[in-house]
Structure 1
Amino acid sequence: MPVSVQIIAAHNLVYVRYSGAMLVNETAEALTEFAKHPLAGPGLRHLVDLTRLTEIDRDYAKFMELQAKKVETMAGHGIETFMVYYATTPIGLHAANLGKNGWTPESGVVAIVLEDEEHALHALGLPYDSIEAMFEKVDAQSV
């Protein structure tokens, strides 16, 4: 599946990575799996990596339905959720803005779009200069 979701408990972080096409049905499946995870819940920080995205499913009506489901799963619990969309290409930035603009102020989700990897990580309070460095450290700690 071109979307992967990992919870990195040590950083209170959900890392979402898209590669290839962003399809509504695959995103919905990933959201369902995330919601079932025992560590999933409100207040987790999210890093949505859209740097490998090549196209977006253009069914905007289904995207809006999915956004409503995301609000049920991740927002509105009285706990603020911070989300960083990291994108470096025109298609990634388009997807990031669709995602960011899908959150209302009442949802409790604060979402921003950043084009610099180090800035994206630092905005989330992570002491790394790259996602690769973060995973090297996390993987080394889990051995």
Structure 2
Amino acid sequence: MAIQFKIYPRLGLVYVQYSGNVRMEETVQAFADYAAHPDFRYGQKHLVDLSQVTSYEKDYVRVMSLQADKAAVLMQEPVQTMIVYLAPTRTSYEIARLAANAWDEVPTIVACVQESEAEALSVLGYSYTRLADLLEFAESTVRQDRIR
């Protein structure tokens, strides 16, 4: 499996893309890398793209433990964090529901699952209907920041 994330500071957005088989140890490492990243900020919106996931490690206790560890990091500041899971397939939807449900008792985390790109982007407040268009725009903001 591969997990990639990119932070778009000007948009306050973290794009996370999973592919292949989701393994918990890789998820733990990816979150640790994100939390240590210099562009990490509390309250960033998260778009978690699960559209390329084919399978996942069904260790529900470990999922809950990971979510608790994430909450401990994300709740250090009293700001709301929105997490939108893009889950267009049956497998990705199962994973997304499991992850989103784990946030139910965390008051500063708002998590939801969307099956289409347009719905996911709308929930995050973007007018784009295609993920590729949002990412193209986001990359342009990064290029502009490099020029400055």
TM-score range for the pair, normalised by the shorter chain length: over 0.9
The alpha carbon displacement at 1:134 in A equals: 1.4
Q: Mark the CA change 1:137 to 1:106 in structure 2 (over 3 Å): closer, same or farther.
A: closer
Where do 1:57-136 residues align within 5 Å? 57-75=57-75, 77-136=77-136
Count of residues in correspondence between the two structures: 143
Deviates further, 44-53 or 59-68: 59-68
Tell me the secondary structure at the aligned position of residue 106 of structure 1. coil
The alpha carbon displacement at 1:38 in A equals: 1.6
The alpha carbon displacement at 1:139 in A equals: 2.4
TM-score, normalised on structure 2? 0.89
TM-score, normalised on structure 1? 0.92
5+ unaligned residues in a row in structure 1: which ranges?
Answer: none
Q: Which runs of 4+ in 1 moved over 2 A?
A: 104-107, 138-143
1:25 matches 2:25: yes
Aligned alpha-carbon RMSD (Å): 1.5
Q: Mark the CA change 1:75 to 1:82 in structure 2 (over 3 Å): closer, same or farther.
A: same
Which residue of structure 1 lines up, in the alignment, with residue 49 of structure 2? Answer: 49
Partners of 1:41 and 1:10 lie apart in 2 by: 11
Partners of 1:19 and 1:49 lie apart in 2 by: 9
Tell me the secondary structure at the aligned position of residue 73 of structure 1. helix
Q: In the alignment, is the contact (CA less than 8 A) between 1:76 and 1:106 conserved in 2?
A: no
Q: In the alignment, is the contact (CA less than 8 A) between 2:6 and 2:14 conserved in 1?
A: yes
Which residue of structure 1 lines up, in the alignment, with residue 146 of structure 2? Answer: none
Partners of 2:105 and 2:60 lie apart in 1 by: 21
Q: Mark the CA change 1:125 to 1:49 in structure 2 (over 3 Å): closer, same or farther.
A: same
The alpha carbon displacement at 1:107 in A equals: 3.9
Tell me the secondary structure at the aligned position of residue 106 of structure 2. helix
The alpha carbon displacement at 1:138 in A equals: 2.4
Counterpart of 1:112, as a letter, is C
